[in-house]
Amino acid sequence: MLTQLGLEIADTPLAAPRLSTLSPTHQAEVLDTYRSLGGQLEEPQLRPGAWDLTFTKGLVVELDDELHFNRFRLLTLSAGDRRPWDRRYRQYCEDFEIDCLKAGTWSKRWTTNSAERLMGAGDPVGELGDRGAPRWKQRALYDSMKDLAGDVRLCRLSVSDNLGSVSLGKVLAGRATYKPARLATLVHNRLASN
């Protein structure tokens, strides 16, 4: 869909951010976020996965499904709307946590060994108490690190985003059609200027 808009896939994917590749200010912000999510390690090894889609000219697109919208991701979003997705994503976190809970309690979506090493033990699967879901916290932290990466042009899209009267998720699942101009507008409006 994005190549039909004229975007060109990069020959070599861009490296995912690491704490050492962020500015000192952003490093401090990530570590503060880590601690606010319950992280206790003095020097955590933070390793977000690869970018979802990498295009030429340093453009990366992250496509966020229902697992990205919950109370932990809400903690990482800027109240000052410094990024073009902050306001909408805060609303998604409030409106769609129940969808995250439905999708995020099986397999390794609630916790993993690496998430527990980073965030500590969680609540029993499906219960959002004081400790929460370690994997959800890890995902929120890694999303926030990607939000702060200054060496890319980041565009965040959500399966909950609307392309007119249909969601991007329905279009991607092949259950609806869309107008390319609406996707182009969404991409343009969600492109962060770092």
Domain count, the chain: 1
Q: For 27-48, how does the pLDDT look when each residue is reduced to its tens digit (9 = 90+)?
A: 999 999 999 999 989 999 999 9
**Can you spell out the DSSP letters for 123-183?**
PSTT--SSS--HHHHHHHHHHHHHHH-TTSEEEEEETT-EETTEEHHHHHTTS----HHHH
The model's pTM? 0.95
79 has a pLDDT exceeding 80: no
Give CA–CA dist 113/103, Å, rounded: 19
Give CA–CA dist 154/83, Å, rounded: 10
- For residue 193, name the pLDDT band (cuts at 50, 70, 90): confident
Mean pLDDT to the nearest integer, 130-143: 97
Phi, psi of 102 (to 5 degrees): -65, -40
List the beta bridge partners of residue 166.
163
Residue 25 lies in domain: 3-190
